[in-house]
Amino acid sequence: MNDQHDDERTRIRAAIDRLLAGQPTSSKGSLTAVALATEAGVHRMALQKRHADLKEEFYARVRAETHQTPEVEKRLRKEVVRLKEALKDSRAAEATSRHRAEQMALAAAVLLRRNPGQDQPAPDNVIPLRPSGD
């Protein structure tokens, strides 16, 4: 590891301590990764990529020391609930469509069974798939 990397890690650890103590110096003091990066004076992506372990350590300490759920986790939990509901709705719509397709296939089979090759006019509510005479 180089000196810049070590310096960033030292600043991040100090920023974690300040945020958890409620004494931010360069951020609003929220317990988020963005505030941590701002407080440490590092780019947010550096925290996400090079120092992901410190970000996770920060969130673990937020849970342990403040007994709060981090905002990221709250948002993700809401998104999971929303996606589960959307999946449930999608599955219900699929089941309805599948049922309709089965009913249509059965109705077509009944109509074909009634009129196998006879040239009887179709009922008014039946639309032929191919024009007659083809």
What tens digit of pLDDT does each residue of 22-63 get?
Answer: 899 988 888 888 999 999 999 999 888 999 999 999 988 988
Positive or negative torsion for Cα 104, 110, 115, 116: positive
pLDDT band at 90 (very low <50, low <70, confident <90, very high): very high
So what's the pLDDT on residue 123? 67
Sequential DSSP letters for 39-69: HHT--HHHHHHTTHHHHHHHHHHHHHHH---
Domain count, the chain: 2
Enumerate residues 6+ apart whose C-beta is below 8 A from 93: none
In terms of domains, do 51 and 76 share one? no
Give 90-96's long-range contacts (Cβ < 8 A, gap of 24+): none
Domain end among 68, 91, 124: 68
Give pLDDT, residue 116. Answer: 59
Same domain, 60 and 7: yes
In a domain, 48, yes or no: yes
> For the whole model, what pTM was predicted?
0.54
Q: Which domain holds residue 52?
A: 3-68
